[in-house]
Structures are given as C-alpha cells and as structure tokens.
Amino acid sequence: MSNAAALTQDNFEATVSGGVTLIDFWAEWCGPCKMIAPAIDELAAAYDGKANITKVNVDEEGELAQKFGVASIPTLLILKDGEEVNRFVGVTPKDDLAKAIDAVLG
C-alpha cells in the first residue's frame, strides 16, 4: 500500500484546491512508474502535513489524465492552489522532486 493518497475525479478538487500537491500519473503495467514508486512513497512520508503527495491511476481516472494532457507516464505535476506550476515526464530523481516541492512551499 502506498503512502501517497489516491486521487480520483471525486476527491480531486477538494485535495488540490489549497496548498501544494504533487500528482504522480501512473499505471500498474508501467515499468518506469514502478521504478519511482518508492521515491513517491518516501516523499509522501517526508511531506506529510506540508504538501499533498498523490497518485492518479491513468487506467482508472482517464479524465484526469486527459484534463492535464498527460501523454506518457510517469508524468508528475506540482500544483499550487489547483494550478500547475511544474511538470516532470519520465523517471525523475526524488531529490529533484523534493527541490521543486520546496520551491513552491517557499
């Protein structure tokens, strides 16, 4: 079980509308997604209470992937108050993601 919260159409607005959110767009069959999953879990633990670390399964939540123009996975978005401020495509080092989150947190 992941430390990152599952993001769905139902809880999307409530989760991302305030503060900083990292969204990991992934799929069960995606090898690179599995490679970065442990880093996402570590970020979820490290930023607990400071930022929302979430995951969107593109096979189950295609509308959310489409809304953000996700063409390949993993795609990682950082949102501030619901607005995209940063995007990473492909396997991204945990430290790079942490620096990007910290920059938005200020």
What does the pLDDT read at residue 54?
97
Q: Give how many domains the chain has, as a whole number.
A: 1
Among the options 23, 30, 43, 44, which is catalytic?
A: 30
Residues shown for the chain? 106
pLDDT category at 58 given cuts 50, 70, 90 is very high
Contact present, 17 and 82 (Cβ < 8 Å): yes
For the segment 69-82, what is each residue's pLDDT rounded down to a tens digit? Answer: 999 999 999 999 99
Among the options 20, 23, 33, 43, which is catalytic?
A: 33
Give the CATH number for residue 51: 3.40.30.10
What is the spatial distance between Cα 49 and Cα 87, in angstroms, rounded to a whole number?
22
What does the pLDDT read at residue 3?
86
Residue 1 has pLDDT above 90, yes or no: no
Distance of CA 29 to the CA centre of its chain: 17
Range of the domain at 75: 5-105
**Does 33 participate in catalysis according to the annotation?**
yes
pTM score of the predicted model: 0.96
**Does 30 participate in catalysis according to the annotation?**
yes
84 membership: H or E segment, kind and range: strand 83-89
What is the spatial distance between Cα 10 and Cα 74, in angstroms, rounded to a whole number?
22
Q: Where does residue 69 rank: exposed (0-12), middle (13-18), buried (19+ CB within 10 A)?
A: exposed
52 membership: H or E segment, kind and range: strand 52-57
